[in-house]
Amino acid sequence: MSDQPVRITIKPSGSILIESPAVILDADGNEIPQPTQKRPGTVKLCGCGNSKTKPFCDGSHNEGR
């Protein structure tokens, strides 16, 4: 395991990019299945609130642009 901290970037679109594989859990501790990511080994979460696949970003932040 790397000693480097995981990079998490808040994008201008509102998405939150985790530059590492990650397991995302719900409030009960159950793993939430992840959609296929454009960049394997990363996870992109929705921060804009418009995603239809919350908590993951599905690109809906681009709607209306």
Binding residues (CB under 6 A) for ligand FES: these are 13-15, 46-48, 50-51, 57-61
Q: C-beta of 36: minimal distance to ligand FES in Å?
A: 15
Burial of 57 (0-12, 13-18, 19+ CB in 10 A): buried
Judged by beta carbon, residue 14 or residue 19, the one nearer ligand FES is: 14
Q: Cβ closer to ligand FES: 19 or 59?
A: 59
Rounded least distance, CB 5 to ligand FES, Å: 23
Q: How far is CA 5 from the centre of its chain?
A: 17
CB 48 within 8 A of CB 15: yes
